Amino acid sequence: MSDDFLVPDQPAGPENYTKGGRLKKSFYEAELVRLQEELVKLQAWVSSSGLRVLIIFEGRGSAGKGGVIKRISERTSPRIVRTAALPKPTDRERTQWYFQRYVPHLPAGGEIVMFDRSWYNRSNVEWVMGFCTEDQHEEFLRSCPQFERMLVRSGIIVLKYWFSVSYEEQGRRFRARNQEPIKRWKLSDMDLEEHRLYTKYSMAKDTTFQYTDIKQCPWFVVPSDDKRQARLNCISHILSSIPYEDVVPDPVAIPEREEMAYIRPPMREQTFVPMRY
């Protein structure tokens, strides 16, 4: 971490929480700005030093993975900090080595790649929903730790986060999505099945951790019933896990326009969008 990034030793004081125990919006927004400034510094350091960083976000539906990815991406460059959210595999990809479709998305030098779900689909969604065979599931649990050790040995920094949401909070979020037309697209048939099979997904998560929580790249659990807390805690942990220095460029002189003999065409010849606002 940089010298000026301070990780709070204690949680935010009681004055920063609501009576219900959730983080207040004013404190959250101020702290988020501070952390996003540090993410910009981290981005500059990764780019200048050629680091390769892979961050995996896993967890149940509505656990908050997309929310933290959005806040990380909000102030950073998509050329350096990018997100990989793969669709379901094609017929051809189903015949490949399982990890093959993910390899092209791994970071090159100077990049941070965030996986919004990853190869852990196999030991979670695919296993619970019966989209893979028991042999495929067992082979994944055997080979995944070896694959990740290879990534770490190659010099890639791997961080794995599991966003943990309770059954009650997941249900509340699903009901809220169902009430809002602009969010209803987030509520898929798979989400509804996931809520029904909450206990089996717990079994899948526990088994996944049993085999893949390895010292080279351990799992970090992010309690996410309070989305604001989850976002700040996760971003803070990322910043504290990767040593970096502040190499953000100093302010530069903005040049004046260079004059030249040129007459532009009349603006009336251009088509403008209607001025409705």
Query: How far is 205 from 160, CA to CA, in rounded Å?
Result: 13
- Is 106 among the domain residues? yes
- Is 77 among the domain residues? yes
- Is 266 among the domain residues? no
- Domain with residue 114: its CATH number is 3.40.50.300
Domain ranges, residue 180: 14-248
SS3 84: strand
Residue 107 in tokens: 């970071």
- The total domain count for the chain is 1
Specify the pairing of strand 81-84 against strand 157-164.
Answer: unpaired
At residue 221, the pLDDT reads 98
Structural contact between residues 213 and 206, judged by C-beta atoms closer than 8 angstroms: no
DSSP state for residue 124 in the 8-state scheme: I
- Is 148 among the domain residues? yes
At residue 13, the pLDDT reads 85
Question: Is the Cα dihedral 127, 131, 134, 135 positive or negative?
Answer: negative
pLDDT of the chain, 277 residues: tens digit per residue: 555 555 554 567 889 999 888 899 999 999 999 999 999 999 999 999 999 999 999 999 999 999 999 999 999 999 999 999 999 999 999 999 999 999 999 999 999 999 999 999 999 999 999 999 999 999 999 999 999 999 999 999 999 999 999 999 999 999 999 999 999 998 989 999 999 999 999 999 999 999 999 999 999 999 999 999 999 999 999 999 999 999 999 999 999 999 999 999 999 999 999 999 9
- Is 270 among the domain residues? no
- Is 228 among the domain residues? yes
- Is 262 among the domain residues? no
- Is 238 among the domain residues? yes
At residue 28, the pLDDT reads 96
Query: How far is 14 from 155, CA to CA, in rounded Å?
Result: 41
Query: How far is 55 from 52, CA to CA, in rounded Å?
Result: 10
3 state SS for 137-172: HHHHHHHHHHHHHHHHHCCCEEEEEEEECCHHHHHH
At residue 14, the pLDDT reads 86
pTM across the whole model:
0.92
